[in-house]
Amino acid sequence: MSPIPNLKLNSGSLMPAIGLGISAGTLQEARDKAHVWIESALKSGYRHLDTAWLYQTERAVGEAIRASGIPRSEIFVTTKLAWHHHACVEKAIQDSLTKSGLDYFDLYLMHFPQAAAYKDNSFETPLDPRGFETILENPTFNEVWADMEKVLASGRVKAIGVSNFSIKTIQQLLKTANVVPAVNQVELHPYLIQEELVEYAKEKGIVITAYSPTGKAKILADPVILEIAAHHDATTAQVILAWHVARGVAAVPKSTNAERQMENLQLAELRPEDIQRINDLDRNERISNKAGLDGKMLGWTYEQLGW
């Protein structure tokens, strides 16, 4: 098994290639208990935690870090600007810092390029974050990015990036950006390998991070993945995570189980032919975030998203 490498961001920071995704669903009770399995992950060796304002687990992340006894400087923490906070970035970052009890975040991402609003323009979010009232034309993500650059300059975050951006939206962002995004976090797994986006990001010095990196049960049970895992005496998750790292991509799998958390930090050593076979599984198929019957994904068409 291979150790977890660090990926160097264009900010100069080092980010562990495997992190822990910290979405706890829409039940408040589950969010309140998330600190237990986050602390378990830290004790298993995780040093990269991926949360978001919309997940409502920032408080749990801070609690777990303090309970672990691990120095804050040794843990890379990512959080994300909620899509209904695009017009109030300053208020949003302060709220995230207050909830977590942290002095800074290592990475701050714009969670979505589109801006949304909840009932009465509420700063808070319904338990289901997809229950937005409307999609707004303003502010544009270029304007939001300018405010995020101010947060970066203040020292409260060490790097800034985006999430759910495409080549199209990154190109639009770079027309006005003074800071190139350090990271673009997107859905990426063996059925959605996003080769063009990965290569474009490398050219621009942007690290790609994969969410839903194993593709959930559907891909974990794929015959090709099962065969490669059997050859290496590894789990299918260990194979897929190793494939991400071999491509220079970070991944943030979620696991609340201590045994699986430890397994996910032990990557199979794949052969070039293994990597190619996994690449060949690509179907351009989205599993986590995909258009509904109206042809839109959270209010935007694939054309608007550049997907």
What tokens does 100 get? 């977590």
Largest Cα–Cα distance of the chain, in whole Å? Answer: 56
The share of the chain scoring above pLDDT 90, in percent, equals 95
Alpha-carbon gap, residue 265 to 262, rounded angstroms: 5
Q: Which of 55, 108, 118, 211 is catalytic?
A: 55
- What tens digit of pLDDT does each residue of 206-263 get? 999 999 999 989 899 999 999 999 999 999 999 999 999 999 999 999 999 999 999 9
| Residue 2 confidence class, pLDDT cut points 50, 70, 90 | low
The sign of the torsion formed by the CA atoms of 126, 132, 133, 135 equals positive
Pairing state of beta strands 107-110 and 160-163?
parallel
Alpha-carbon gap, residue 174 to 305, rounded angstroms: 15
Q: According to the model, what pLDDT value does residue 249 have? A: 98
| Residue 26 confidence class, pLDDT cut points 50, 70, 90 | confident
Residue 10: name the closest of 209, 210, 181 by CA: 181
Map out the domains of the chain with their CATH numbers.
Answer: 7-215+248-266+283-301 (3.20.20.100)
Q: According to the model, what pLDDT value does residue 128 have? A: 87
Pairing state of beta strands 300-301 and 296-297?
antiparallel
Pairing state of beta strands 20-21 and 107-110?
unpaired
2 or 28, which is more confident = 28
- What tens digit of pLDDT does each residue of 145-185 get? 999 999 999 999 999 999 999 999 999 999 999 999 999 99
Residue 26 neighbours by CB under 8 Å, 6+ apart: 127, 128, 129
Residue ranges of the binding site: 111
191 belongs to the catalytic site: no
Residue ranges of the binding site for substrate: 111
